[in-house]
């Protein structure tokens, strides 16, 4: 039994998953999540951090309504738009549409005529609007996927490791573009990652999960304005994080 409902503008995203079990064809059960419960405040950027296989993607799939076979309840923040946007590891662009067409296709009727110049500019996509996905590097395709998500002005944005498989310099550039774009268009955001420095750079709060079955083992409040999160401060935050989670499986 599960339920999903939208609530008022300032309400947080509220997740209470009692259990999510996968069953093999032979009927063997794998409990992916048990008693997973957390909130993401309105306008907050939170990261779900946990070891490989702890159920991060499963949680996002449940939140996106792609998996309804769980017990528990989810309350979505309604926001102004009631819209949910997602950015996945794979940018998932239509190959026969240009960059701009890929972005415009997902816009709701009220935004169909919106001028996207500022968004393109902020994400370094100006001049690339007429290119096709096959002409883009993976890093550029990821920028298009980010642009598409922000263009819809969502009330909540889910991101599933959007910077994996990029070289570190490109990933750094994209993280900083995400900070810039999110700062000008703040929206409630939940990002899945297993990269601690990435979480410390981007998030207001890090929700730390145990190994499978995933449940919350603690919350880390980053508590430092994003512009101050340079390499030295990040080193300090990493130490503080490791101190808080010393002894927790997967975070030694
Ligand atoms: N369709 C499925 N059938 C059976 N087991 C599954 C299925 N999908 C996921 N699992 C199992 O559920 C657990 C959680 O998987 P999930 O992909 O959510 O983890 P994750 O934290 O996102 O991992 P990673 O960081 O490696 O991407 C894993 O043990 C995985 O093997």
Q: What spacing in Å lies between the alpha carbon of 247 and ligand 1's midpoint? A: 24
- Give the tens place of pLDDT for each residue, 144-184: 998 899 888 888 999 999 888 888 888 888 888 888 888 88
Instruction: Write phi, then psi, for 105 (nearest 5 degrees).
Output: -55, -35
Q: What spacing in Å lies between the alpha carbon of 54 and ligand 1's midpoint? A: 7
Contact 98, 148 (CB under 8 A): no
Q: What is the pLDDT of residue 7?
A: 42
61 lines ligand 1 (CB under 6 A): no
Q: What spacing in Å lies between the alpha carbon of 56 and ligand 1's midpoint? A: 8
243 lines ligand 1 (CB under 6 A): no
- Give the tens place of pLDDT for each residue, 123-151: 888 999 999 999 999 889 988 998 899 88
Q: What is the pLDDT of residue 220?
A: 96
Q: What is the pLDDT of residue 78?
A: 65
**154: nearest Cα among 5, 38, 43:** 43
222 has a pLDDT exceeding 70: yes
Q: pLDDT category, 27, cuts 50, 70, 90?
A: confident
- Whether complex ipTM tops 0.90: yes
Tokens of 2: 């599960």
Q: Between 74 and 7, whose confidence is greater?
A: 74
55 lines ligand 1 (CB under 6 A): yes
Q: What is the pLDDT of residue 139?
A: 87
30 lines ligand 1 (CB under 6 A): yes
Q: What is the pLDDT of residue 81?
A: 60
* Cα(203)–Cα(194) distance, integer angstroms: 13
**146: nearest Cα among 137, 155, 157, 135:** 157
Q: What is the pLDDT of residue 179?
A: 87
Domain annotation for the chain: domains and CATH numbers: 2-244 (3.40.50.300)
What atom in ligand 1 is closest to the CA of residue 160?
A: 22
213 lines ligand 1 (CB under 6 A): no
8 has a pLDDT exceeding 60: no
Q: pLDDT category, 72, cuts 50, 70, 90?
A: very high
**59: nearest Cα among 215, 182, 248:** 215
pLDDT more than 90, % of the chain: 54
Q: pLDDT category, 59, cuts 50, 70, 90?
A: very high
- Is residue 14 helix, strand or coil? strand
Q: What spacing in Å lies between the alpha carbon of 22 and ligand 1's midpoint? A: 9
- Give the tens place of pLDDT for each residue, 204-216: 999 999 999 999 9
How far from chain centre, in Å, is Cα 43?
13
Q: What is the pLDDT of residue 98?
A: 95
* Cα(15)–Cα(207) distance, integer angstroms: 12
Q: What is the pLDDT of residue 9?
A: 44
Please give the average per-residue pLDDT across 75-87, as a whole number.
Answer: 77
What's the chain's average pLDDT?
Answer: 88
10 has a pLDDT exceeding 60: no
Q: Which helix (H) or strand (E) holds 91?
A: none
Residue nearest atom 23 of ligand 1, based on CA coordinates: 53
212 lines ligand 1 (CB under 6 A): yes
* Cα(137)–Cα(151) distance, integer angstroms: 21
Tokens of 234: 């990040």
1 has a pLDDT exceeding 80: no
Residue nearest atom 6 of ligand 1, based on CA coordinates: 22
């Amino acid at each position: 039994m599960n339920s999903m409902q939208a609530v008022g503008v300032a309400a947080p995203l509220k997740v209470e998953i009692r259990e999510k079990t996968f069953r093999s064809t032979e009927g063997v059960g794998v409990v992916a999540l048990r008693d997973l419960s957390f909130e993401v405040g309105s306008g907050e950027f939170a990261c779900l951090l946990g070891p490989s296989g702890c159920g991060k993607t499963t949680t996002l799939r449940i939140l996106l309504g792609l998996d309804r076979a769980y017990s528990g309840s989810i309350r979505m923040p309604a926001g102004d738009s009631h819209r949910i946007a997602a950015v996945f590891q794979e940018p998932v662009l239509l190959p026969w549409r240009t960059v701009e067409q890929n972005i415009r296709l997902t816009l709701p009727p009220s935004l169909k005529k919106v001028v996207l110049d500022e968004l393109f500019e902020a994400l370094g996509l100006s001049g690339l609007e007429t290119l096709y996905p096959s002409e883009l590097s993976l890093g550029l395709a990821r920028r298009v996927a980010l642009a598409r998500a922000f263009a819809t002005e969502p009330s909540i944005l889910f991101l599933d490791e959007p910077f994996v498989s990029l070289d570190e310099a490109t990933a750094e550039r994209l993280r900083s573009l995400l900070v810039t774009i999110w700062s000008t268009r703040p929206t409630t955001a939940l990002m899945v990652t297993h990269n601690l420095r990435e979480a410390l750079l981007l998030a207001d709060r890090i929700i730390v999960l145990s190994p499978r079955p995933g449940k919350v083992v603690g919350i880390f409040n980053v508590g430092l304005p994003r512009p101050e999160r340079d390499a030295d401060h990040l080193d300090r935050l990493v130490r503080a994080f490791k101190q808080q989670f010393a002894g927790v499986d997967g975070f030694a």
